[in-house]
Structure 1
């Protein structure tokens, strides 16, 4: 497939890029710092500003899907920057005619009890709150959209570099935990789950999660 990857040089984006290239996909990486990505025969790297909707739409045209690993965690107003960027991306996807948008979600909006999300727990890390709140805002926006073909994949509470095992569980809106009560997934297996969804869509217009 011919896909666009937003944020390919970031932590999760780099894992998605590696998995996509290993599967033979043609990837157009839209980043702010093209020098951070090594050349690859299946990779085209372009500098882009996610807030520039018309230019972004032109760059997206002709692709089969967009995967967004965009985040605003390095910005002073993390939540505001993320929400505005994602609103611009959603508008650009619609304008470009790209048929599908896949979004890297967060664990904060996953349910941990009836009526309670992980983000609502008192020990939720303060440094991740802005990103989690922004991601929850966008999930609400996507769920209200009646036209866009979207999917969001939320990781477990902890996502970390590790092994590509291909052995994991999928869930819907509830945080997954293993037998010891730990909620975690490797970056490599998260990427497997996202690319599986790209190639064989099963969560169209839905959010899902992955964990051990």
Structure 2
């Protein structure tokens, strides 16, 4: 399978590249600089909002993974939202897989960022990822899936024990290795098409 990974130099993206390559997939590592990423078969330079580059990658690959968070340095999140709106409205032959955010998951139908006590500093990103999820949920004709991590995600190897959930957190924490395993399991054997699911380390 041919897989393009946006955000391939990041904490989660690099682990996704590693896991996909380990399983024998042909991986294109996509980043703003196009720098080489261990395990990738090729590298590409592209911005999230570059529609032409996205269409080209989606034509050349079976799956396009987006592992790119919104800005965490105070800039407006609107360009990030606009980019995902364009992606959600562009029909491509590739499947689209989005790395979601834990803050936009739900407990009893209420998104975490609306629950009292949710840290204020994480609310902007959580709200943005909630908007992004809504864009894909409203999309028509696009083959997409979103995987959201547990509230705490940190670097770590696969443990061999993961728990999946639907819209609610599946647990308190997940390693990047376990997250990547769940992502590639879904990519290889789709079970959550057109919706979000969650993962945690057992």
Shared fold per TM-score greater than 0.5: yes
User: Which segment is superposed worse, 65-74 or 150-159?
Assistant: 65-74
- In the TM superposition, what are the counterparts of 1:3-152 in structure 2 within 5 Å? 3-35=3-35, 37-38=36-37, 40=39, 42-92=40-90, 94=91, 97-112=92-107, 114-152=108-146
Seen in structure 2, the aligned counterparts of structure 1 residues 63 and 138 have a Cα distance that, compared at 3 Å, is same
Seen in structure 2, the aligned counterparts of structure 1 residues 194 and 39 have a Cα distance that, compared at 3 Å, is closer
Instruction: Check if 1:196 corresponds to 2:190.
Output: no
Which runs of 5 or more structure 1 residues have no equivalent in the other structure? Answer: 178-182
Instruction: Check if 1:158 corresponds to 2:152.
Output: yes
1:39 to partner: Cα distance: 5.4
SS in 2 for 1:29: strand
Seen in structure 2, the aligned counterparts of structure 1 residues 209 and 139 have a Cα distance that, compared at 3 Å, is same
| CA distance, structure 2, for counterparts of residue 38 and residue 139 of structure 1 | 28
Tell me the alpha carbon deviations over residues 155-206 of structure 1, each in whole angstroms, 9 at most, x when there is no partner. Answer: 00000112311211111011223xxxxx111110000000000000000111
TM-score by length of 1: 0.87
| CA distance, structure 2, for counterparts of residue 101 and residue 38 of structure 1 | 21
Q: Match for residue 180 of structure 1?
A: none
Which runs of 5 or more structure 2 residues have no equivalent in the other structure? Answer: none
- Let me know the Cα RMSD of the aligned residues: 1.8
Tell me the alpha carbon deviations over residues 33-72 of structure 1, each in whole angstroms, 9 at most, x when there is no partner. Answer: 223x3454x5211111221212321233121111110222
User: Is the 1:66–1:98 Cα contact (8 Å) retained in structure 2?
Assistant: no
| CA distance, structure 2, for counterparts of residue 33 and residue 117 of structure 1 | 35
